[in-house]
Amino acid sequence: QQQVKQSPQSLIVQKGGISIINCAYENTAFDYFPWYQQFPGKGPALLIAIRPDVSEKKEGRFTISFNKSAKQFSLHIMDSQPGDSATYFCAATSYDKVIFGPGTSLSVIP
Amino acid sequence: EAQVTQNPRYLITVTGKKLTVTCSQNMNHEYMSWYRQDPGLGLRQIYYSMNVEVTDKGDVPEGYKVSRKEKRNFPLILESPSPNQTSLYFCASSQRGPAPNTEAFFGQGTRLTVV
């Protein structure tokens, strides 16, 4: 079965610090790698995404690093804020399917 | 307002009693899908639909049915719910399939408890 692995399961970061979440995939047919952010009681919402022909993408404080040969990608949140506290899911998509990682619960403490 | 609407938000039912969770989107999206979210497992795709009258199984389709008779609606049907289907369910839609640069929009979720 196709899998996307994600670590850590939970993460506590001080305000202003860097949060790093890592993901790894197996299927080389995946062609898009989005990250979703989910607040309690809400559905996931797209945060940032990357294509496999790009090694890095930055949007504000959020950066995706992508290593195609290692089949790994990561989310970096710079200057983490309490408002970033949420669950983060990495995902990998192909033509018709989306496979999500198990999620990372991020808590940013003042 | 562009949105995906699920109903009900909360549902407690008994084993074996058929139920339907509705999902409607107002963005004229072609692709719709259902997920279940369980602790430590993330979101797992149940069924998806590339367009009207076209549906296909995701990773965990057992015990579920769907239909796509209209573009905007994609109900999830549990013919005979069992306790292992207790979960948080999300419906999502996107303009096309999960292709690059295509954003998926999620509903607010339906928390289902089967006793």
Q: How far is A38 from chain B (nearest CA, A)?
A: 10
Residue among A102, A104, A49 at smallest CA distance from A80: A104
- pLDDT for the residue numbered A2: 62
DSSP helix/strand/coil, B43: strand
- pLDDT for the residue numbered A1: 54
Provide the strand spans (E) within chain A. Answer: 4-7, 10-14, 19-25, 33-38, 45-50, 56-59, 62-67, 72-77, 86-93, 98-100, 104-109
Q: Which residue of B has its CA nearest to A87?
A: B42
Q: Which of A8-12, A59-63, A93-97, A98-102 has the lowest mean pLDDT?
A: A93-97
The reply to whether residue B48 touches residue A97, judged by beta carbons under 8 angstroms, is yes
The reply to whether residue B106 touches residue A94, judged by beta carbons under 8 angstroms, is no
Cα–Cα dist A44/A36, whole Å: 6
Q: How far is B18 from chain A (nearest CA, A)?
A: 25
Please indicate if any CB of chain A lies within 8 Å of the CB of B42.
yes
Residue B6 has pLDDT above 80, yes or no: yes
pLDDT tens by residue, B78-109: 999 999 999 999 999 999 877 777 889 999 99
Considering only CB atoms, A89 lies closest to which of B42, B98, B107, namely B42
Count interface pairs A-B at CB distance under 8 A. 66
- ∠ CA B97-B10-B78, nearest 5°, is 60
Four-point Cα dihedral B22, A42, B99, B42, nearest 10: -100
pLDDT tens by residue, A45-95: 999 999 999 999 999 999 999 999 999 999 999 999 999 999 999 999 988
The reply to whether residue A89 touches residue B100, judged by beta carbons under 8 angstroms, is no
Q: Which of A57-71, A93-107, B53-67 has the lowest mean pLDDT?
A: A93-107
- pLDDT for the residue numbered A94: 86
Residue B59 with chain A: CB contacts under 8 Å: 1-2, 97, 99
- pLDDT for the residue numbered A84: 98
The edge-to-edge listing of strands for the beta sheet with A19-25 is: A4-7, A19-25, A72-77, A62-67, A56-59
Query: What mean pLDDT do residues A8-30 have?
Result: 95
Cα–Cα dist A47/B66, whole Å: 28
